[in-house]
Amino acid sequence: MALNPSDIESIVRRVVSEMNADKSECHKNCTGSCSGAGAQLPKTAKVAMLTGTKKIEIKEFAVPELQDDDILVKVEGAGICGTDVHEWKGDPFGLIPVVLGHEGTGEVIALGKNVKYDTAGNPIKVGDKIVTSVISCGECNICRNHPANTNLCDKQGVFGLIGHNDDNPLNGWFGTHLLIRDKGATYFVVNDLDLYERMILELACVCVHALKRANGTGLINFNTKVVIQGLGPVGLVMASVLRAAGINHIIAIDGTEKRLEMAKKLGVKTVINFKEAKTLEERTALVKAATNGNLADFAFQCTGVPAAASDIYSYIRRGGGMCEMGFFVNNGEYTINPHFSMCNKEINIVGSWDYSADDYPTTIAFLRQAREMNIPIKELITHTYPLEKMNEAMEMNVSQQGIKICYVAE
């Protein structure tokens, strides 16, 4: 059938009119920008809100209208951090009511018109998998004069440790959706990582940053003999990071057989059960035996137990080093003799606090390397729970029956 110009014009007008009608109906039903042609955003979202000590309740909030710099994420999962458990047990940060969860990941379902790239400069679009990093203020002395150390920002924030906000009630990963809105927020596209890798990423970043701090001592190399004290998720991921970095002589100390066995699977050479080697002298002798009588070149202190923290100096050789990364909350003090523990040994001591956004690309590369080396880091995730069972998930974490506990969206 032949069409003349007027016929073609009529058809085009009708098609455009129908498309505009569909678009108008879509925007009428949506709370903000659409996630795709004809798709509509949710009007409400659910969160698991900590409303009191050991009390998480499911709350439902209207999804705020998307602004030009916002990102709306459909949550797929989030790890439960020891910090989350501390807040659940006693609110040491004074955040209640709060939506916890800072080890999260999900899929971008809507973008404000100004959002074109992630923090690393990679293009970002609807459908991308994403993780978040720190929120820095941009105004304190650290942010202005030491921008590579934004982990030390005086007003550092992180999604999941913000406290309830009426303007954005979706500010933690323990929910069906997360709204990235805060000024200074950082985020990264991680499409090539699977869900379990993405849920481990934030924790791994803590360990990658600790290794960077340790590298500053000049003591880390292929020949370094390392002690890791404490095989919770932090210690086990620290072992994985060291293995991926080429450190093959690792000695790990813990009192839980399941964690010691996992350490062996991750490539730890020697494990010491402190429930069997009950005295410091016994444990020190075992470290000596594993290092040809020389003690460790370097140690990572990954527990939040003051007594354990005081022991670690005994495992380190003269001229060796130590990274303290176990006390992310105030768990008390310990006593050492500075002459014997530090000065006489001339130990190089560094502390490690969180991470900066620029540690994230390195951590993403570590997860790819762990995959290439067949380091079974994903096996650390032993239990997953839906949103409605977050209290049970916290109880499981406290019981230490598992290793890494996660929320996974249904």
- The mean per-residue pLDDT over the stretch 194-208 comes to 98
Query: Is 238 within a domain?
Result: yes
Model confidence at 4: pLDDT above 60: no
Number of domains in the chain: 2
Indicate if 227 and 288 belong to the same structural domain.
Answer: yes
* Whether residue 322 sits in one domain with residue 248: yes
Reported as a single tens digit per residue, the pLDDT across 271-325 is 999 999 999 999 999 999 999 999 999 999 999 999 999 999 999 999 999 999 9
Whether residues 214 and 145 fall in one domain:
no
Q: What is the CATH number of the domain that holds 186?
A: 3.90.180.10
pLDDT > 90: percent of the chain = 86
Predicted TM-score (pTM) of the model is: 0.89
CATH number of residue 286's parent domain: 3.40.50.720
Domain identity same for 213 and 292? yes
Q: Do residues 233 and 241 touch, judged by C-beta distance below 8 A?
A: no
What one-character-per-residue DSSP string does 81-112 give? PHHHHHHHHH-TT---SEE---EEEEEEEEE-
In the block, tokens 């066995």 appear at 261
Smallest CA-to-CA distance from 244 within 354, 358, 371, 361 is with 371
Residue 340 DSSP code: I
pLDDT in tens, 261-283: 999 999 999 999 999 999 999 99
* Domain shared by 132 and 161, yes or no: yes
54 and 137, same domain (yes or no)? yes
In-domain check, residue 297: yes
Average pLDDT, stretch 40-65? 96
Cα dihedral 172/178/182/184 (nearest 10): 90
Q: What share of the chain is helix, strand, coil (3-state, %, to 5)?
A: 35, 25, 40
Note whether 177 and 170 are within 8 A (CB). Answer: yes
* Cα 399 off chain centre by: 21
Would strands 185-189 and 225-229 be described as parallel, antiparallel, or unpaired? unpaired
**Locus of tokens 């790239």:** 117
Is 400 a member of any domain? yes
Do residue 64 and residue 187 come from a single domain?
yes
For the CA atoms of 334, 338, 342, 343, the dihedral, rounded to the nearest 10 degrees, stands at 170
- What gap in Å lies between CA 303 and CA 130, rounded to an integer? 30
**152 and 86 share a domain?**
yes
Question: What mean pLDDT do residues 98-113 have?
Answer: 97
Do 178 and 209 belong together in one domain?
no
Instruction: Answer yes or no: is 385 within a domain.
Output: yes
Helix (H) or strand (E) holding 263: helix 257-265
Helix (H) or strand (E) run with residue 129 in it? strand 129-135
Q: Is residue 35 part of a domain?
A: no
Cα–Cα nearest to 203, from 241, 172, 165, 230 = 241
- pLDDT tens digit sequence for 139-182: 999 999 998 888 999 998 999 999 999 999 999 999 999 999 97
Please check whether residues 235 and 117 belong to one and the same domain.
no
pLDDT, residue 20, reads 44
Q: Which domain holds residue 245?
A: 205-351
Mean pLDDT of all residues in 225-252: 97
Return the structure tokens found at 281. Answer: 């002298």
- Residue linked to tokens 């990102």: 71
User: Sign of the CA dihedral 337, 92, 235, 55?
Assistant: positive
Clarify whether residues 61 and 90 are in a common domain.
yes
d(CA 350, CA 54) in angstroms, rounded, equals: 34
Pairing state of beta strands 71-79 and 177-180?
Answer: antiparallel
Same domain, 157 and 268: no
